Amino acid sequence: MTAVRRRWAVGIPSLTLLVTGLSLAHVLAMVTGLGLLLLVPTCIALAAMPTSYRCVSRPPSLLVAALALSACCGVLVLSGLLTNLVAPLSHTSWVVSTSASSLILQAFALQRWRATPPVAPQPKPASRAPLPLAIAVLLPLLILALVLTKSVSSAHSLENKEAVISVSVVPTRSGAALIQVSCFPCATRSVAVVVSTSHRNQRAIAHLSTNVTTWARAVAVPKGSGVTVTIRRLHSLHALAAARLSPTPLRPGTLASDGQRLTNATN
């Protein structure tokens, strides 16, 4: 048995065992997508094995990887389509289907390996100067990573220049409306203001509540009761400052500064 055949003889069953074990563990643990992630190397191994085995010295690995990746996408699409016939697409169904696909492909790979006749290995090509190769791979990746990071910050700076301050009305079950002042893109840093509703916003809320099931019992504030503003949380000073400058604030709501109570003159 040649060295290459010995390598495959150990490698394929080991890979199969590993993938099977991890897939089963994954199904039990329901954590992240190991089944999917293991499908990729399995397909690559499946596609690469006969070529690597027969033409030992130079497997066209990039091309095999391309075809294997395409095969993975195809397997996902078709298995998703079939899965959807019997069950909704969810984390669990994906775990089961990808693990099953992975196991089937491994069994197929093992069967193909057994059926492939041995071929003597060919001499390895001359060494490829590992240092320049490493530089040629790592340096561009480093440059691209830096470029992407800088692009993100550049795009963020444009966003920050144009930070969007939004004013919106959200009804609550207590009968008041929640007027939110939020900042985009820092959406998590928002100012939440609880305000009773005017007749105008009440109509909007009543209308929305007919459409939004979670807002079903939204509004019960009498008309013309004025607007009471209480700032509940203040996460972002610049959001508050910009909210005052909001070009067309909600009628008749007017936003107050921190802690103040305000009665809207329009009512």
Using the rule CB under 8 A, is 77 a contact of other proteins? yes
Contact flags string 193-222 toward other proteins, x per CB under 8 A: -------xx-xxxxxx-xxxx---------
C-beta of 227: minimal distance to other proteins in Å?
A: 15
Q: Is 230 in the site for other proteins (CB under 8 A)?
A: no
Please tell me the distance from the alpha carbon of residue 180 to that of residue 171, in angstroms, as a whole number.
10
Q: Is 18 in the site for other proteins (CB under 8 A)?
A: no
If binding is defined by CB under 8 A, does position 246 make contact with other proteins? yes
CB nearer to other proteins: give 17 or 77.
Answer: 77
Binding to other proteins, residues 43-62 (CB under 8 A): 47, 50-51, 54-55, 57-62
One of 86, 247, 261, 265 touching other proteins (CB under 8 A): 247
> Any contact of residue 98 with other proteins (CB under 8 A)?
yes
Using the minimum distance from each CB to other proteins, give the nearer residue, 10 or 143.
143
Q: By CB under 8 A, what part of segment 130-189 binds other proteins?
A: 132-133, 135-137, 139-141, 143-144, 146-148, 150-152, 154-159, 162-170, 182, 184-185, 187
- C-alpha to C-alpha distances, 233 to 53, 174, 181, 227, 230, nearest whole angstrom: 66, 18, 11, 18, 9
Contact between 14 and other proteins per CB under 8 A: no
CB 193 within 8 A of CB 201: no
